[in-house]
Amino acid sequence: MPARHFDARRRVVIERVRPEIDGGRFPIKRVVGEKVVVEADIFADGHDQLSCRILYWDETDKEPHSAPMEPLVNDRWRGEFHVSEIGTCRYTVEGWVDHFKTWRGDLLKRIAAGQDVRIDLLIGAEFIEQAASRAAGKDEKLLREWAKHLRENADQEPGASIALEEDLLPIIGRYPEPFLMTRYGKELLITVDRPRAGYSAWYEIFPRSTSAEPGGHGTLRDCENRLPYIASMGFDVVYLPPVHPIGHTNRKGKNNSVAAQPDDVGSPWAIGSEEGGHKAVHPRLGTIEDFRRFVAKADEHGLEVALDIAFQCSPDHPYTGEHPEWFRMRPDGTIQYAENPPKKYQDIYPINFETPEPLALWEELKSVFQFWINQGVRIFRVDNPHTKAFAFWEWVIEEIKRDHPDVIFLAEAFTRPHVMYRLAKLGFTQSYTYFTWRNTKPELTEYFTELTQTEVREYFRPNLWPNTPDILSEFLQVGGRPAFMTRVVLAATLGANYGIYGPAFELCENVAVAPGSEEYLNSEKYEIKHRDLNAPWSLKDFIARINSIRRAHPALQSDRGLRFHETDNPMLLCFSKTTEDLSNVIVVVVNLDSFHKQMGWVNLDLQSLGVNNGRPYQANDLLGDGRYLWQGSWNYVELTPGIVPAHILQIRRWVRTERDFDYYL
Amino acid sequence: MPARHFDARRRVVIERVRPEIDGGRFPIKRVVGEKVVVEADIFADGHDQLSCRILYWDETDKEPHSAPMEPLVNDRWRGEFHVSEIGTCRYTVEGWVDHFKTWRGDLLKRIAAGQDVRIDLLIGAEFIEQAASRAAGKDEKLLREWAKHLRENADQEPGASIALEEDLLPIIGRYPEPFLMTRYGKELLITVDRPRAGYSAWYEIFPRSTSAEPGGHGTLRDCENRLPYIASMGFDVVYLPPVHPIGHTNRKGKNNSVAAQPDDVGSPWAIGSEEGGHKAVHPRLGTIEDFRRFVAKADEHGLEVALDIAFQCSPDHPYTGEHPEWFRMRPDGTIQYAENPPKKYQDIYPINFETPEPLALWEELKSVFQFWINQGVRIFRVDNPHTKAFAFWEWVIEEIKRDHPDVIFLAEAFTRPHVMYRLAKLGFTQSYTYFTWRNTKPELTEYFTELTQTEVREYFRPNLWPNTPDILSEFLQVGGRPAFMTRVVLAATLGANYGIYGPAFELCENVAVAPGSEEYLNSEKYEIKHRDLNAPWSLKDFIARINSIRRAHPALQSDRGLRFHETDNPMLLCFSKTTEDLSNVIVVVVNLDSFHKQMGWVNLDLQSLGVNNGRPYQANDLLGDGRYLWQGSWNYVELTPGIVPAHILQIRRWVRTERDFDYYL
């Protein structure tokens, strides 16, 4: 007889626990204070009643907390709890055949049918005595008294009412029969992050473009002077491309030309020279002390520094000499450069994660993160993680977060869906998305429904970027300033996490290097830029307003409350974000057409917004200051791209009428 | 560094393998010869090409067979294989980074771009040499020659064509680099059954009602005389309610009355008396030798005997005295009878699976199956398995099938969906369904789509019963003879497995004991019946015709090919069943209204039937002998309940026209 015999009396089955990512292989994600709703199919043979509960442990708990579960329909149970500590939380589910509950329900039916229940009351007394034997202290005493009282009155009138005593139900509920308990076979994990993991506004800037001198090579000190400007727009994170020495060999010139001129500065992603590799600061940017000072100055402005980690090397990187075994060799004895045949990227050597002894490589790469953590960095934007081994990411993120659970990793992977999701499962805190190329109503609706209303939301935190130094989308190229307004409103309201590459974005730079290309003309990746931040067309004030709306409205600080609403015009996108208690309700309407005024009707799902369908409500435009008095689900909007192509409406549910005045009654 | 370091170089990830029931906890089901289609998400970091395959083992295989997988879209791969041995088959999936395939694809791009590929050809030669070092014999020789030839010509004109040699691709494909291979972490199981598990027609009969003498107690010998009749209707399985001694204490009388008369025969499900329990034959039915003889006689008529196993006891069952610990005790010292408060079933004692030492109980119950296997039974219809512990079923079915993999277990569970599905997952070969209460077009469509087009089909084999001794459905009560015709056509064509309780069914017995009840008036459960099998309204010839259609048409012998088609009349249900190769195509149209002629249009999905939309096709009614020439997807039907309420149409796709004659061209 197999070992499972010893579980023979555990009659309860627990199936389809949600959330559970890939059978429990991966954790779900939350920020501190967030709620976890757990559901499971829980049932047993026969017709006995069950009781169920969640067990959960915060990072430092030895003993679990418990949260009750309630039945929904069709053997589905649900409960919830909140996570309160940064780190790794666990949860599981328990269910048991509850003979006392079954007996009590049956007793009610027997009494209703006028049956003799004297024997049944004695059965009940036995259940209570059994529970008492598992209890202690005051509970045990109460249960023993109850059983005794019931036995003594089983033959008499008050027996039934003693048996049905409601006050004692919670007490007996605490002492289920252990051999009847089934605990779900897995403890499921939650990565609990600090709040910024769930809500952040990023601003990407090339420090070398911050010199006060036109044409001069900016330094980290120059970049400090840019901090007030960035902070004034309301961003939280200032993200720097790699700050390391740049290779000389096969350096790319302006506009990615293969023949660099002597004064070309090269791409910051061609990392490493005789001046150092991933742990060095480019001498023209300054010193490591300058870097630490920059981190501290940013903090004074309420900004955190995010650093780009790009695990690849220029031909001049120290690794190429010290660790040739970390690269692929060609039969002619040279190191294999990056390729996407027939294209060749001879200024970049990819690292070979199939190297026979990956241990040393992994440790070295981990030490890069550790080095910058030691300089005060807690946010890393990881370049192209999808071209490095999955196993490495899982290992290194776990290693780093063990000692620094506050570290945030953003995955810059623009690749196939399964790969992007896998990286998020492996531990990346936030992820780049396809938002950059989702422009139409059906595209945005379908994609953001997938991200926020399916299992994906449990492990993948979207971070939305309308542009990056690599991507000037066609929408931005053709739509002029209104297109930039539309895209930043969408990014900042569809996503609790979003970012822009500036100042290219707020200055509406929109010229591509060639038709059909998404590369910027005169890309900042290959040259120093000098810009007039006060250009009259700058969107800095518009962006500042959006970020201040985000700060004032918690509904915009999470993606779980996203819901799309019908409109009768395909150019009008309407969605809402709400806090769970509906205390904060935001409705966004965006004109997706950058050229024409669009008007039409939006059909709000009022129930989801907590609005009473019969009463008027106020829709206050936080962006344009308009105030609208609406009633019913269908309401008219018109949006002119040349003015402001979007409403960000706060819904105020209680509009006073004469019936609210005392004298009306 | 954790142990997973040693997998650091395995870059391929395998996810979402299907079929996989509850994370591999349960096997899928097939009959011998059936196909298993396996899909998985398989991907790696970066842009290298992958190769993937299924590995599978039949019951007796030590080494796996392999079946290729092909990419679909979005990193999904698919392959298939057939199971060929009764028993337990296993399968899993492997994928690997295929450097040679990647290199070959890149080489084609480089050549197209006119690049110098001399170094690339040397890289290719290295890959071929590495494969050769893993090969042996003729393959090794061929690969070594290939590599040598390529090296010698790498600088010359024929180098590229040598590298791209297609004939050698399958050979190098057999020798992937082991350290790059990822095998899915689980071996998934298949319970492979004999064909009758997937295709069967059952006939339930009470042996005691087969006496030639009106009122006489039929015997197993009498029942032998009924076999030609049952066989003539084309059934495969003759299913007997319990044949054991029946209890006296609290025996139920006619129509379930609590006060039995002295000559009342009692319910066969009140098992056990001083004459024996679950391993005895009721003396009035005959001896154990008679039982064995009945099994042999049935076999002569092409019929298998299915025996009812009902693990419950009458108060007189030997177990109640020998093993009181297998029952619950009441405080007054009596055994707890069955209840559904406030209803009491005092003639039945349920077994208590929470008994402190279940081992002895389980072994005893297992020995009941073994006893009847020894008498020649290979099919068991298990009564109310949902009121016995799940763990017991999993154990006992595995134990029995280890020695007797040809045994079929039918779960008679009419209960909540999760419980029914769980029992199927635990090992029951076939299962009763809600078909009995699904009468309308939306009900039938939704339910049978769930059973045949979702994961449920992998483990739950429906067995459809229009009636049982417990259930005379309202549809049958009110619809007269046409209702019986409709329901048997539906059962026999929607379900490859189906059964009827006869002769009540073919004689259209339809009087309930009370309005709103599904109990038969004068139920055969409590008394002996004597019937005129040749009543003019008997459906025996109709049923014989249906069963002969099932035998002639393999499309009706499986449920996987079921598909519903649109009709413009809610009373007309239309569905098709097809073999996988579309060599056999059956379209069924049923009038669900037992009172009125219904007419309308059916809209066939011609592509799914393999019909060329532009050409006419024949629809031959196998039930009514009509032949219709149809063209296009929309076709007219009318069905009169008083005549035949259904078409079972065989679609013949190639109708000859003048263009088929030589002289037309």
pLDDT digits (tens, 9 = 90+) for B229-263: 999 999 999 999 999 999 999 999 999 999 899 99
- Give the mean pLDDT of A69-82: 97
pLDDT at position A662 is 65
Closest CA to B53 of B72, B67, B65: B67
- Give the mean pLDDT of B91-104: 97
Residues in chain B with CB shorter than 8 Å from the CB of A113 are 341-342
Number of residues in chain B: 665
The minimum CA-CA distance between B257 and chain A, rounded to whole Å, is 19
B185–A contact, CB cutoff 8 A: no
Contact B418 A74 (CB under 8 A): yes
- Give the mean pLDDT of B346-355: 95
pLDDT at position A655 is 65
Q: Find the closest chain B residue to A122 by CA distance.
A: B331
How far is the C-alpha of A599 from the C-alpha of A458, rounded, in Å?
A: 36
How far is the C-alpha of A357 from the C-alpha of A360, rounded, in Å?
A: 7
How far is the C-alpha of A84 from the C-alpha of A30, rounded, in Å?
A: 10
Q: Which amino acid, residue A60?
A: T
- Give the mean pLDDT of A80-89: 97
Confidence bin at A83 (pLDDT 50/70/90): very high
Backbone angles phi, psi at A124, to 5 degrees: -60, -40
Name the strand (E) or helix (H) holding A455. Answer: none
pLDDT in tens, B603-642: 999 999 999 877 889 999 999 888 999 999 999 999 999 8
pLDDT in tens, A12-57: 999 999 999 999 999 999 999 999 999 999 999 999 999 999 999 9
Q: For residue A583, is pLDDT > 80?
A: yes
Secondary structure (3-state) at A138 = helix
- Both tokens assigned to A371: 């080095």
B325–A contact, CB cutoff 8 A: no
Confidence bin at B662 (pLDDT 50/70/90): low
pLDDT in tens, B38-81: 999 999 999 999 999 999 999 899 999 999 999 999 999 999 99
Q: Which residues contact B152 (CB under 8 A, 6 or more apart)?
A: none
What are A651's strand-pairing partners? A619
Q: For residue B2, is pLDDT > 70?
A: no
- Both tokens assigned to A156: 């008499």
Confidence bin at B6 (pLDDT 50/70/90): low
Residue of A334, A354, A454 best to disrupt the B interface, most CBs of B under 10 A: A354
B7–A contact, CB cutoff 8 A: yes
Confidence bin at B663 (pLDDT 50/70/90): low
How far is the C-alpha of A625 from the C-alpha of A643, rounded, in Å?
A: 13
Residues in chain B with CB shorter than 8 Å from the CB of A22 are 15
pLDDT at position B179 is 87
How far is the C-alpha of A56 from the C-alpha of A83, rounded, in Å?
A: 9
Secondary structure (3-state) at B117 = coil
pLDDT at position B5 is 47
Residues in chain B with CB shorter than 8 Å from the CB of A391 are 4-5, 7-8, 10-11
The minimum CA-CA distance between A521 and chain B, rounded to whole Å, is 26
pLDDT at position B655 is 65
Contact B391 A422 (CB under 8 A): no
Contact B353 A47 (CB under 8 A): no
pLDDT in tens, B361-416: 999 999 999 999 999 999 999 999 999 999 999 999 999 999 999 999 999 999 99
Contact A4 B391 (CB under 8 A): yes
Of the candidates A383, A509, A527, A559, the residue annotated as catalytic is A383
Of the candidates B48, B304, B383, B593, the residue annotated as catalytic is B383
Q: Find the closest chain B residue to A350 by CA distance.
A: B46
Count CB pairs under 8 A between chains A and B.
168
Q: Which residues contact B584 (CB under 8 A, 6 or more apart)?
A: B553, B554, B555, B578, B650
Q: For residue B4, is pLDDT > 50?
A: no
pLDDT at position B215 is 87
The minimum CA-CA distance between B50 and chain A, rounded to whole Å, is 14
Q: For residue A3, is pLDDT > 60?
A: no
- Give the mean pLDDT of B346-358: 94
B347 flagged as catalytic: no
pLDDT at position B1 is 39
The minimum CA-CA distance between A386 and chain B, rounded to whole Å, is 5
Of the candidates A34, A236, A412, A559, the residue annotated as catalytic is A412
Strand order in the sheet with B617-621: B627-630, B617-621, B646-652, B585-591, B572-578, B563-567, B598-603, B634-639
Residues in chain B with CB shorter than 8 Å from the CB of A112 are 342
How far is the C-alpha of B310 from the C-alpha of B312, rounded, in Å?
A: 6
Residues in chain B with CB shorter than 8 Å from the CB of A147 are none
pLDDT in tens, A535-575: 999 999 999 999 999 999 999 999 999 999 999 999 999 99
Beta-strand relationship, A379-383 and A304-309:
parallel
Q: Find the closest chain B residue to A344 by CA distance.
A: B110
Contact A353 B387 (CB under 8 A): no
pLDDT, mean over chain B: 95
- Kindly state the percentage of chain B with pLDDT values over 70: 97
A129–B contact, CB cutoff 8 A: no
> Among A157-161, A538-542, B336-340, which is the least confidently predicted range?
A157-161
Q: Which residue has the tokens 């994370």?
A: B23
Q: ipTM greater than 0.90, yes or no?
A: yes
Residues in chain A with CB shorter than 8 Å from the CB of B1 are 359, 362-363, 395
A412 flagged as catalytic: yes
Helices (H) and strands (E) counted in chain A, each on its own, are 15, 31
How far is the C-alpha of A179 from the C-alpha of A398, rounded, in Å?
A: 37
Convert A183-243 into a string of H (helix), E (strand) and C (coil).
ECCCCEEEEEECHHHCCEEEEECCHHHCCCCCCCCCCHHHHHHHHHHHHHCCCCEEEECCC
Q: Find the closest chain A residue to B358 by CA distance.
A: A8
pLDDT at position A156 is 85
pLDDT, mean over chain A: 95
Q: For residue A186, is pLDDT > 80?
A: yes
pLDDT at position B156 is 85
Contact B389 A115 (CB under 8 A): no
A46–B contact, CB cutoff 8 A: yes
Contact A45 B387 (CB under 8 A): yes
B61–A contact, CB cutoff 8 A: no
pLDDT in tens, B565-588: 999 999 999 999 999 999 999 999
pLDDT at position A5 is 47
Residues in chain A with CB shorter than 8 Å from the CB of B123 are 330-331
Q: For residue B3, is pLDDT > 50?
A: no
Q: Find the closest chain A residue to B41 by CA distance.
A: A418
Q: Find the closest chain A residue to B332 by CA distance.
A: A119
DSSP B552-584: H-GGGG-STT-EEEEESSTTEEEEEEE-TTSSS
Residues in chain B with CB shorter than 8 Å from the CB of A47 are 340, 387
Task: Tell me the angle at which helices A358-374 and A390-403 cross, rounded to the nearest 10 degrees.
Answer: 40
B115–A contact, CB cutoff 8 A: yes
How far is the C-alpha of A121 from the C-alpha of A127, rounded, in Å?
A: 10
Give CB contacts under 8 A, 24+ apart, made by A575-578.
A575/A448, A575/A493, A575/A494, A576/A604, A576/A605, A576/A608, A576/A609, A576/A651, A577/A493, A578/A608, A578/A609, A578/A610
Contact A8 B353 (CB under 8 A): yes
With beta carbons less than 8 A apart as the criterion, state whether B485 and B542 touch: yes
A331–B contact, CB cutoff 8 A: yes
Contact B9 A358 (CB under 8 A): yes
